[in-house]
Structure 1
Amino acid sequence: MTRKAELEAVCAAIGQAGKGITACDEGPGTIGMRFENVGVTNTEENRRAYRQMLFETPGANKYLSAAILDPETLYQKSTTNGKLFPEVLSELGIVPGVKPHLKVYALPGQSGATVMQGLDSLAVRLQEYKDAGCKFAKWRSPLEIDLATGQPSELTIETNMKDLARYALICQDVGLVPIVEPDISLKGDHDLETAVRVNVKVQSMLFKSMLDHGVYMEGALLKSNMVNPGKKCKTNYTVDELAIANLQVFRRCFPTAMVSANFLSGGQSLEDAAARLDAINKHKSAKDPWNLSFSWSAALQMPLFELCRGKTELPLKEMGDLYIAELEKAGAAALGQYSRNGKEGDHSAK
């Protein structure tokens, strides 16, 4: 099989209808804060046991096509069979991948806007992760809409999107599928029309940069924010208006060569994220060829952590039961078959 065919095969495996990605790539410090917030001690064993539950809960692989791992998790083993987690995932039919980027730093003169570190040493690290069993990698470029400071500026957008393109090219050179993640925050008070305009600007720069760099588009995937007004926006929008806005952005920018977009949750509750993903899929038409699914972290995990409050040990069975119920909602939304309650997914003025 040629390199391009290998990349396409991984994209097809991740982009299966009705399945999505569990994003559990938080570093030890980030997941540690989530643990400590509910009274769980942040030890490597607790992190390992928790992630084993995310992978091995019976039935999870019915809804999961892939898992994004922190590098620490690549070298941890399942207590079920003593195998390393990338092998465990592969045997379950879940494609293992990794988060290879490092930390963000502020761009000088850009009102706090940031860019991600890690390109210089990327190829060496990616080869190590591929040798450990990974099939893809994910790189996140966080952005915020702040009309008062003119962000994201042309410089902020261009710097971040060209870095994503360089990352994608390095991934494919090593033999890994790149997932590119432009992440426009829900922070702010901007309206939906502004969100559409900025998302179009960001994604058009991303895909042009990928093409300019020679990225094989059929061998890459998108993980983007859902197009939403800022959390403090004073205008009400229905879930259907949000869905149409998301499809407008994709129809204007998203190459048909790329088979799947897996939305991040980005501070949305599971119910809002599911209702919005469901509405997007319900509004899809024959001219929208992509698989549109989920790649959620906090939306799935935060309710699981709440089950830990007041307990001395991780309630893994209870967490696994809730996790499956959550994945059922996510899987249904990825097919446009989620039944929302009340005003789930609507944006209500705060």
Structure 2
Amino acid sequence: MSELNNIALKIIGNGKGILAADESTGTMTKRLQGVNIESNSENRLKFRHTLFSSKSMKTCIGGVILYDETIKQEFSSKKIPELISDTGAVPGIKVDTGAKTLANSSEEKITEGLDGLRDRLKDYYKLGARFAKWRGVYIISNSYPSKIAISANAHALARYSALVQEAGMVPIVEPEVLMDGNHSAEICLTKTSEVIKKCFEELILQKVDLKGVILKPNMI
């Protein structure tokens, strides 16, 4: 697992950040149409290539989260993960398939994407990905986040993490407690602490090497 630790340190070392370039096609379409540019695979690639070829990539970015479409593309006969690696950053991939309504709850969410993940990770590794990202979403109210939502999402994050490490990659664990609502910062801190604690309980239970994990917490 020392190799996973080295990858994790390379991603976040020397004060560098992680570039999230994993916008879905729908999100990219809205962004491009906002400046009167047609949203097609070529234009989406050009937009992202502009980011990846920036001079600041080498000094500011340690990792880049890609979308399924982008990791399979090439620019000037060079694969996108290779282009990113040439800047010194680590290519990564978003692997969850989105948050869906949690059973027996009208408001809370559970993130999906575990079905077939092992095979997808093998393919992404071959394409050059060396880390992955999965986002769990939680809301705050008088009743939420519920123990069911906290437990279900923590379990999914841990299962995902175990599979990612099995594939030789570093998992980014993102349990995001949304700030929406009229609650105080103190309540947000309390709820976020509960969520993160449960996530690490599940990670340990499923024998995930914590030295090869990157936690992406929400702001309080």
Q: Counterpart of 2:78?
A: 83
CA contact (8 A) 2:12 2:18 kept: no
Runs of 4+ in 1 over 6 A off after TM superposition: none
Q: Could you tell me which residue of structure 2 aligns to residue 11 of structure 1?
A: 8
Match of 1:105 among 94, 97, 100: 100
More strand by share: 2
Shift of 1:104: 2.0
Q: Deviations over 1:57-109 (max 9, x none)?
A: 12322100010000111111123xx2101011111101000001113211122
Instruction: Pick one of 197, 200, 224 that aligns with 2:190.
Output: 197
1:45 maps to which residue?
Answer: 42
Report the Cα distance in structure 2 between the residues aligned to 1:96 and 1:178, rounded to whole angstroms: 12
User: Is the partner of 1:88 in helix, strand or coil?
Assistant: helix
Instruction: Tell me the C-alpha RMSD between the 2 structures.
Output: 1.0
- List runs of 5+ in structure 1 lacking aligned partners: 228-350
> Are 1:110 and 1:156, in contact at CA under 8 Å, matched by a contact in 2?
no
**1:68 paired to 2:61:** no
Partner of 1:139: 134
Kept after mapping to 1: 8 A contact 2:179/2:188: no
Q: How many residues align?
A: 220
Secondary structure, aligned partner of 2:75: coil
Report the residue type matching 2:35 in the other structure.
V
Q: Which runs of 5+ in 2 are unaligned?
A: none
- TM-score w.r.t. length of structure 2: 0.97
Partners of 2:100 and 2:45 lie apart in 1 by 29
In the aligned structure 1, how far is the partner of 2:9 from the partner of 2:185? 32
Q: TM-score, normalised by structure 1?
A: 0.61
Amino acid at match of 1:105: K
What does 1:201-280 align with in structure 2 at a 5 Å threshold?
201-227=194-220
Paired with 1:59 and 1:37, the residues of 2 have a C-alpha distance of 25
User: CA 1:187/1:38 → structure 2, altered by over 3 Å: closer, same or farther?
Assistant: farther
Overall identity of the aligned pairs, in %: 35
- In 2: Cα distance, 1:185 partner to 1:64 partner: 25
